[in-house]
A and B are shown apart, each in its own frame.
Chain A
Amino acid sequence: MSISAQRWHRYWVTYQTLLHKEVLRFSRIWVQTILPSAITTTLYFVIFGRLIGERIGDMDGFAYIDFIVPGLVLMAVITNAYSNVVSSFYSSKFSRYVEELLVSPAPAWVILAGYVSGGVARGVAVGLVVMGVAMLFTDIRPHSVVVTLLVFVLTAILFALGGFINAVFANSFDDISIVPTFVLAPLTYLGGVFYSIDLLPDVWQALSLANPVLYMVNAFRYGLLGTSDIPLFAAFSMILGFIVMCVFISLRLLQRGVGVKH
């Protein structure tokens, strides 16, 4: 094996090790990591979909319960991809076992890929469970499997990266709950999960367009239902643009050792 091939093989083994560790971490405690989203989403479907939704009627030409499925699935993906990486990486800082990686020859991009893939794995796992719950309440079949899967994975990647950046700057366990509570939750709830932005006055519609979650929810809604408030190209451009920016920031932080080295 050439030196270059050996090096790439080493990177691959390191990545596999990190991913294996991350997946084991959340799957060992599935009652805390997978189950809560399934229960919460079931409650959303029962209360907002069935009880209240039947009085709301159609939205964008779909039964209300069908309309909220994409947003609820994506909300679970966003929350879980983010919280997996933020809690895992912050714990490794707090207990200092991040040093196991810092002393190893693993380059920053492999470390980042490992953590982000762990977050994506949890986001996708929970998203599939929530999707399964949705199937019990609705008859939705994806309008476009490719768009659905792409948005599913890209959104998980983006918020896993967000969780990583949060963890780098966090100095206490309080710091890792501030962003999800004060930034992520409002953006998600105001991102068109429960309504079409056509219902909003013009000013609020314009403001909503500055919310990146709106683009993801609508792209995912297109994948599942074939309808969207936002053009698909704009949605993918927005998601990919944010991913590139977050990758760049994360790598710079990791290479400089921000938050992990003195």
Chain B
Amino acid sequence: MHALIVEQLHKVYATGFEALKGVDLAVEEGDFFALLGPNGAGKSTLIGIVTSLVNKTSGRIRVFGRDLDQDAEGVKASLGAVPQEFNFNLFLPVEEVVVNQAGYFGIPRPEARARAEFYLRKLDLWDRRRSEMRLLSGGMKRRLMIARALVHRPRLLILDEPTAGVDIEIRRAMWDYLRELNADGTTIILTTHYLEEAESLCRNVAVIDHGRIAAVSETRALLAGLDIETFVLNLKRPVAEPLLLPGFSVTRADATTLEVQLHRSQSLNELFDALGRRGIEVGSMRNKQNRLEQLFLEMVERGREGSTVAA
């Protein structure tokens, strides 16, 4: 069964800006799905429409088989939404925010309190339950948005940039919890600017650009389509410029740092053989960019070239 089906979704804002130009998308139940795209690509509009925060212009949305136009209550009951921007009453205590949200979903107060405790403990916020929202750090507010979105136990959780502005330690903890939720059967869709996040968490990825879906694929398959990867090599000893390695595109960043572009047809062994023949010893190595980021940039670039040609 599909958790989400989007068909021919269009959105034109009152300003005349066409944010979505016929988006089609399907997400399987149980999936961990990433929606990637540059700023202004239409990610938040798409998520906003699915979560009933934005009115669509035309198109159809179904969540677990329920049509948003015909059964909005049924759709909303099965959805949990974590928006990109904080949307709290800053003067309410943390626990009350979660308990009220449960109440809006029809969960009676005693049960709402029990669930609030469960999720606040899970997200390490129980000790701050009596703090007013305005006194929380950005990371705490992000975690609270997740607790609030989960309190009615949705089957589909949609997160718009859930870890924006969160430090690495908390981000990793949030990733672990999202993995746990997904393993327990919750379908998760997220948008993120941290492509490492999508690569690490998501089984499937859709790339959206200029209001259209540019690609939908398994994350692994998408990465397999990556033609070129750039590696940064830290050398043990300085090298003189220019450095020519036949068959490889090499840039000397400084005396002990090289950037090498490796085509999909080439292997790291070939590169190290070539370096060894020149007596160059490598101390350490890293990807210049996250692999998904590189692929994403390539796809967006290709899409823009296509648009320019078409124009």
| A residues apposed to B, CB below 8 Å | 7, 9-11, 13-14, 16-18, 20-21, 91-92, 95-97, 99-107, 256-257, 261-262
Contact A103 B48 (CB under 8 A): no
Known: A17-B100, A102-B53, A262-B54. A97 touches B87 (CB 8 A): yes
Given the complex, which residues of A lie within 8 Å of B232, measured CB to CB? none
Q: In whole Å, how far is A157's beta carbon from the nearest beta carbon of chain B?
A: 22
Secondary structure of the B contact surface, majority rule = loop
Contact A105 B54 (CB under 8 A): no
Contact A13 B79 (CB under 8 A): no
Is B105 in the interface zone, CB < 8 Å from A? yes
Is B247 in the interface zone, CB < 8 Å from A? no
Chain B residue nearest to A88 in the complex (CB): B89
Given the complex, which residues of B lie within 8 Å of A100, measured CB to CB? 87, 100-101, 104, 148
Given the complex, which residues of B lie within 8 Å of A9, measured CB to CB? 106
Residue in B13, B85, B90 whose beta carbon sits within 8 Å of that of A262 in the complex: B13
Known: A17-B103, A103-B79, A105-B76. A261 touches B87 (CB 8 A): no
Is B83 in the interface zone, CB < 8 Å from A? yes
Is B51 in the interface zone, CB < 8 Å from A? yes
Chain A residue nearest to B86 in the complex (CB): A96
Contact B104 A17 (CB under 8 A): yes
A-facing mask of B95-121, CB < 8 A → 1, else 0? 000001101111111000000000000
Contact B100 A95 (CB under 8 A): no
Q: In whole Å, how far is B75's beta carbon from the nearest beta carbon of chain A?
A: 8
Is B73 in the interface zone, CB < 8 Å from A? yes
Contact A261 B106 (CB under 8 A): no
Contact B100 A21 (CB under 8 A): yes
Contact A107 B89 (CB under 8 A): no
Chain A residue nearest to B14 in the complex (CB): A262
Given the complex, which residues of B lie within 8 Å of A256, measured CB to CB? 55
Contact B106 A92 (CB under 8 A): no
A131–B227 alpha-carbon span in the complex (Å): 80
Contact A95 B76 (CB under 8 A): no
Is B88 in the interface zone, CB < 8 Å from A? yes
Given the complex, which residues of A lie within 8 Å of B13, measured CB to CB? 262
Given the complex, which residues of A lie within 8 Å of B108, measured CB to CB? 13
Contact B55 A261 (CB under 8 A): yes
Residue in B77, B83, B109 whose beta carbon sits within 8 Å of that of A105 in the complex: B77
A16–B107 alpha-carbon span in the complex (Å): 11
Contact A105 B72 (CB under 8 A): yes
Known: A102-B52, A103-B76, A104-B101. A95 touches B106 (CB 8 A): no
Is B35 in the interface zone, CB < 8 Å from A? no
Tell which of B48, B86, B87, B108 has the most Cβ of chain A within 10 Å: B87
